């Protein structure tokens, strides 16, 4: 059962593997096992595989693996779409871009000031009893990756990682990266 987003206990937000990888290498996330299933009331442990691997040593891009028991209401376990919403009530699904619009990765030379914001502070004193927030934080710079929807890139490490992934999955001919307003093919 594959998932494209998981809840990070350390970042206190829902993250895709690419964003988790960036936050790991920047020191915001320190443990690849501190993720939970994004399903409703689900506390199944999730590990972000290859989070701690250097790009040139990876055979597979970072991805999530689920361990443990899902709750009976978990959308992932029941093969239903996740019911994630932003704080303003907009469904994450409504924001999803088409593959044609998202096939160009946007490489920005500077990260926004909010990129390394501290994790939310609404977590309890005891990490064993943890409640996931009801809503996903909206960030214009980060999108949950679903069916071709891709967020902005801020590091050369991520550009190289995407190049390797696109080459391996055979989609490199259709992929471009936008740098300073110019689309450049990965090839």
pLDDT tens, residue by residue, 73-104: 888 888 888 777 655 555 554 444 444 444 67
pTM: 0.61
SS (H, E, C) the chain: CCCCCEEECCCCEEECHHHHHHHHHCCCCCCCCCEECCCCCCCCEEEEECCCCCHHHCCCCCEEEEECCCCCCCCCCCCCCCCCEECCCCEHHHHCCCHHHHCEEEECCCCCCCCCCCCCCCCCCCCCCCCCCCCECCECCECCCCCCCCCCECCHHHHHHHHHHHHHHCCHHHCEEEECCEEEECC
pLDDT of residue 41: 86
Q: What is the pLDDT of residue 56?
A: 76
Predicted confidence at residue 35, as pLDDT, reads 96
- List strands edge to edge, sheet with 176-179: 104-107, 176-179, 182-185
What pLDDT is stored for residue 45 in this prediction? 94
Counting as low any pLDDT under 50, the low residues of the chain are: 93-102, 120-127, 129, 140-149
- Give domain limits for the chain: 6-185
């Amino acid at each position: 059962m594959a998932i494209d987003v998981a809840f990070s206990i350390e970042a206190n937000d829902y993250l895709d593997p690419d964003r988790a990888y960036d936050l790991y290498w920047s020191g915001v996330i320190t443990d690849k096992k501190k993720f939970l299933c994004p399903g409703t009331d689900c506390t199944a442990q999730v590990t972000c595989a290859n989070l701690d691997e250097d790009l040139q040593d990876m055979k597979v891009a970072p991805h999530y693996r689920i361990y443990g028991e899902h709750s009976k209401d978990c959308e992932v376990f029941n093969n239903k779409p996740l019911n994630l919403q932003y704080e303003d009530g907009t469904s994450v699904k409504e924001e999803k871009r088409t593959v044609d619009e998202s096939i160009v990765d946007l490489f920005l030379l500077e990260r926004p000031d909010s990129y390394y914001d501290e994790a939310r502070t609404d977590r309890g004193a005891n990490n064993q009893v943890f409640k996931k927030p009801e809503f996903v934080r909206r960030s214009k710079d980060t999108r949950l990756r679903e069916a071709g929807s891709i967020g902005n890139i801020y590091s050369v490490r991520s550009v190289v990682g995407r190049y390797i992934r696109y080459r391996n999955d055979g989609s490199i001919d259709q992929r471009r990266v936008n740098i300073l307003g110019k689309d450049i093919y990965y090839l």
